[in-house]
Amino acid sequence: MKMLINSPETVVADALRGMAAAHPELNVDVEGRLVVRRDARERGRVGLVSGGGSGHEPLHAGFVGYGMLSAACPGEVFTSPVPDQMLRAASAVEAGQGVLFVVKNYTGDVLNFQMAAELAEEDGVRVEQVLVNDDVAVTDSLYTAGRRGTGATLFVEKIAGAAAEEGAPLEQVAAIARRVNECSRSFGVALTACSTPAKGGPTFDLPDGEMELGVGIHGEPGRERRAVMPAREIAEVAVGAVLEELVEVAPADGPVLVLVNGMGATPLLELYGFHAEVARLLEARGVPVARALVGNYVTSLDMAGSSVTLCRADADMLRLWDAPVQTAALRWGR
């Protein structure tokens, strides 16, 4: 596989050096694997910290900035960051109001963030945690106990980040983050496997002419494999799976936030065409779309494919979604 890298061993460090050069508004600790807002401790806000394995960019470092995350802890490719990173992140953003950890439901992330939370509290830092587990495709997968955390992570980080920016207390920021997660469901599809720098080739076997329905963001198996289908049929599977689970979220006739997310190698031309099918199906089923976001936000290296995330949003969530944000990968209203 051809990759635009120096070596597999330095790929994360090289990316962090590039982020530091491109975004001087961020403090990037290359050796310590930490990305922090320069103004993280100003005005006594609640600090928001997230992180996970690299390879899902712009998640999470690309969402550090005004109105979103205070800090991100990037691990090695598809590998959880370690508790020491999370502890240093909590210390770097703690401004007297406590810290919220946003944790995707993968075993390594869950265990390491829990350990970091305990260590931070021993140091006198109040910590709340929210677990993102929005993927409806499978339960108890290769990396998880329960459902995987995927596209809803963006919704949680944006909406909770806006609440923190407004000066909401820790308990309130944690509550809105949990509510967003509870109101969100996702389903992903893969057209090709992803390739890690260390392996230098596909991480799983997906024959030509086949696709994986319900794939995870590390290439974990989904519900089934089928012959490649047109976008309209893929959308029917993904939207149907999400709406089947979303009926338990009240109000059943409420509007939704929509994320049509690329897995890394699918161009916007295809993603917008796929979104057209998603929007058509939602309209046909009487589901009003409040806001839509299309692009590569929660990726899986060079995997081709897409995920669909819907969040049943109330007025407060929509207000916080619309609030100004200024990060490397998401920005509006400022």
Rounded CA-CA distance 150/134 in Å is 6
Length of the chain: 334
Asked if 87 contacts 120 with a C-beta cutoff of 8 angstroms, the reply is yes
Rounded CA-CA distance 94/227 in Å is 50
Query: How far is it between the farthest Cα atoms of the chain?
Result: 55
Give which of 37, 40, 122, 132 is closest to 83, Cα–Cα: 122
Give which of 323, 264, 326 is closest to 295, Cα–Cα: 264
Asked if 321 contacts 158 with a C-beta cutoff of 8 angstroms, the reply is yes
Asked if 198 contacts 120 with a C-beta cutoff of 8 angstroms, the reply is no
The pairing of beta strand 305-312 with beta strand 325-327? unpaired
Q: At 324, which amino acid appears?
A: P
Catalytic residue among 23, 60, 218, 275: 218
Strand order in the sheet with 65-66: 65-66, 325-327, 331-332
Residue 177 has phi, psi (to 5 degrees) of -65, -45
Rounded CA-CA distance 291/270 in Å is 19
Per 3-state DSSP, the chain is made up of helix, strand and coil in percentages (nearest 5) of: 35, 25, 40
Q: If you search the block for the tokens 């936000």, which residue do you land on?
A: 297
Asked if 131 contacts 103 with a C-beta cutoff of 8 angstroms, the reply is yes
Q: Please say if 60 is a catalytic residue.
A: no
Would you name the residues annotated as active-site residues?
Answer: 56, 218
